[in-house]
Chains A and B, each alone.
Chain A
């Protein structure tokens, strides 16, 4: 029997390079693909570090050559601009704080990339994410689970893979930790073994997201007022895109006591400031919800919920609402629940589902 074909998304980094090597070792017919997603039209600088830069393509190609697997570059620039970059800017203009990696996983890496692979008779797609997909015999379904090593777990950003696609996705490094992956890279003599991790949003340079939005959507950014929770004007802000919930530094005014951004009111172009305790809340509404371990939410369910990538999970109960929305009530107040970020529900290691905080 011919071996199963898998297309592995290769960013030129250590994780996806090792993923490709592991698949090869397991006997798959591996095809390397680098997704070409973004070129900043407003800068002439050459980007070195991001996963969508040319040097990423070259690194991935070098790894593919080393592994003796074919390597292709697929152009996803149009769809990336539409579903990620434009969305990212829109969200900020609406006073929300988006997570572009989650959108990218939904629309690109586990969206169009899977479609492309299927159209070319490829059985699986794989990426270098730290997460696991396992078949559960009792539930008779594929489950998305956390990586074995919790420190690096990336299941949070993967909750909106469509459930029918779980059977087509492989996460070869989900059983390893970062050190093991680096050691594997050395063992396989991959030319990227010592490459640093990328931490930033791939299409934004120097982490300066506000500068980026300013360059692209300048005309939509207007100064407005900082107000307190009662609506009293406290001062002038530089445009709501510059602020995020929970922010304390960089407000440009001193108040004699610590003040935090507690809400962004895009309709009135106002940034609401309050005390630390004003940041805490026990409930939220999630929209654009995707469930993985259940078909749909019919009755309240106890879960552990996580409100941002770096947040700790916290016990909560989720309740079904109309139009597929979900209400989440935490047992303990959560700090800085931020519209636009995702809330992800867990049952132990299993990702139950998640949605975007409204």
Chain B
């Protein structure tokens, strides 16, 4: 393989050198347990609080509203289960959407087995949730609304601020899974009217294994891990100091040049979208054309299985994905694509490309030069495509 091109930034990103540098001392010389009183520990504690300040600043929150977790998935689990259990006496109804990440969907499925009732709101063909449908779904028993900020597969950005306004008006706790958004677009908890927000460091050039949950002060939520007094007793366990420091540094760097990066990535994104839609027939762009993450592209190629497409791209050195990858690395038809109304066979044939500021125009050129040939080859083998071609011929 001559070159490798990384087009899967929604899956994860590399740790930036500055982030790694900031983390390194905390593996060795600054190894103290933050809960201790001697100088080693105090120093670790100080850096954790610095990181907390940085996250708070990036989100427009207060430092004491930031709680570090082991991942974005953990933050989602905590937000949803924590609110559900703490507010059980008040009601048992939760509103979410059909296109959430599995960290939210499967947590809601679990709560259904525990006696909670969950409404999964539909989305339109672009993947947008209608805030009015959220309002209509609210019942006296509703205790939580959870709507993702931006979708991990199709990149559609939801009207979070509007939904937040409705939740606020009705006095219902509002959570957003912002794992895909933080670091790519501006996220401000006040403007968004959210009470809880999940994020994950490795999506914005930070390390894996660390995330955070923003919890607006006064929000009723149970503790997630029971044990020591870490994270103000709400999420016990010895802090992942290097990870937390890395998260702090990464969010600081990502937000420092967020507009510039977004503009750059968006230009690459639009180059790909425009050229592919113009040059390859039977392609559909999934997700909203404008209201989408700057780096997200999601195509469906009719008559092709996404799996074969990804393998051939990989053989050409291009790392892309087909939406969400399951533990085995095999692909199921995406629940998101099914929710925006794609038929089963087309939902199987999707390609997700997610760009980051480290991608270049040359990489985009290379991708655009190999894609048509791969799509053409796979279609040549497809009996369905053959049938369509013949039909078109006979029309002429």
A residues engaging B (CB < 8 A)? 34, 36, 54, 57, 70, 72-75, 77, 115-116, 118-121
Contact = CB atoms under 8 A, between A and B. Distances in A.
A39 to B, nearest CB: 9
Interface stretch (B4-12, B131-139, B172-180, B326-334): B326-334
Contacts of A70: 314-315
Given A54-B328, A70-B315, A120-B308, 13 more contacts: A34-B328, A36-B328, A70-B314, A72-B311, A74-B330, A75-B330, A75-B332, A115-B381, A118-B381, A119-B382, A120-B312, A120-B315, A121-B377
Contacts of A73: 328-330
A73 B327 CA distance: 10
Contact of A57 (B328, B331, B378): B328
Nearest to A76: B330
Nearest to B327: A54
A139 B329 CA distance: 44
15 contacts: A34-B328, A36-B328, A54-B328, A57-B330, A72-B311, A72-B314, A73-B328, A73-B330, A74-B307, A77-B332, A118-B381, A119-B378, A120-B308, A120-B311, A120-B312
B304 to A, nearest CB: 9
A340 B112 CA distance: 42
A142 B98 CA distance: 52
Contacts, number: 39
Interface string B329-348: 11110000000000000000
A57 B329 contact: yes
Contact of A36 (B311, B315, B330, B382): B330
Nearest to A72: B311
For the complex of A and B, the 7 pairs showing the least CB-CB separation, nearest first, are: A119-B381, A36-B330, A75-B330, A73-B330, A73-B329, A57-B328, A75-B331
Contacts of B314: 70, 72
A34 B329 CA distance: 10
A321 B382 CA distance: 35
Contacts of B307: 74-75, 116
B244 to A, nearest CB: 30
A72 B322 CA distance: 14
A16 to B, nearest CB: 16
A119 B329 contact: no
B327 A119 contact: no
A121 to B, nearest CB: 7
A129 to B, nearest CB: 22
Nearest to A118: B381
B45 to A, nearest CB: 39
A35 to B, nearest CB: 9
A212 B329 CA distance: 27
A73 B378 CA distance: 18
Contacts of A75: 307, 330-332
A120 B314 CA distance: 12
A57 B326 CA distance: 12
A34 B382 CA distance: 23
A144 to B, nearest CB: 25
Which of B314, B330, B381, B382 lies at the interface centre, i.e. has the most chain A CB atoms within 10 A of its CB?
Answer: B330
Interface in B309-328: 311-312, 314-315, 327-328
A116 B327 contact: no
Interface in B22-46: none
Contacts of A115: 381
A72 B328 CA distance: 9
B308 A119 contact: yes
B373 to A, nearest CB: 11
Contacts of A72: 311, 314, 329
A120 B328 CA distance: 21
A307 B55 CA distance: 70
Contacts of B331: 75
Nearest to A115: B381
A70 B4 CA distance: 14
A118 B382 CA distance: 11
